[in-house]
Amino acid sequence: MNDIPLVDEGVITMVDINRLIGNEEILMEPFVKGFEEFVEGTKKYGVMEPILVARKDQSYEILAGKRRLYAAKLAGIKEVPIRLVKTD
């Protein structure tokens, strides 16, 4: 992958979903009751709330919004809104 695009902290920006990596400390089960409806809503309306991320090497690490990313992937969406947050 090339360098990650410059994103200002706090600004909502669309990025390729392949730039996002999961945070292994965030435990969740994406395929719970109602998740299929969540995917269908994502197909219809897109990702409505930005995924919170932090920079990590040449990617963005997900801090909040892992279900939104899984739903976007299943819905065939290639770019999602992110909001970069400072973690220091």
9-30 pLDDT per residue, tens: 778 899 999 888 876 555 555 5
Please indicate, yes or no, if residue 78 is contained in any of the structural domains: yes
Domain that holds residue 52: 12-84
Residue 44 counted as domain residue: yes
CATH code for position 67: 3.90.1530.10
Does any domain span residue 7? no
For the question of whether the overall pTM of this predicted structure is more than 0.85, the answer is: no
- The tens-digit pLDDT sequence of the chain (88 residues) is 456 666 677 788 999 998 888 765 555 555 567 788 889 999 999 999 999 999 888 888 999 988 899 899 889 999 999 998 877 6
Task: Answer whether residue 22 is part of any domain.
Answer: yes
CA atoms within 13 A on the CB side of 78: 0
- Asked if the structure places residue 23 within a domain, the reply is yes
Q: Rounded to the nearest 5 degrees, what angle is found at the Cα of 8, between the Cα atoms of 30 and 22?
A: 20
**Residue 29 resides in a domain:** yes
| Mean pLDDT score across all residues of the chain | 82
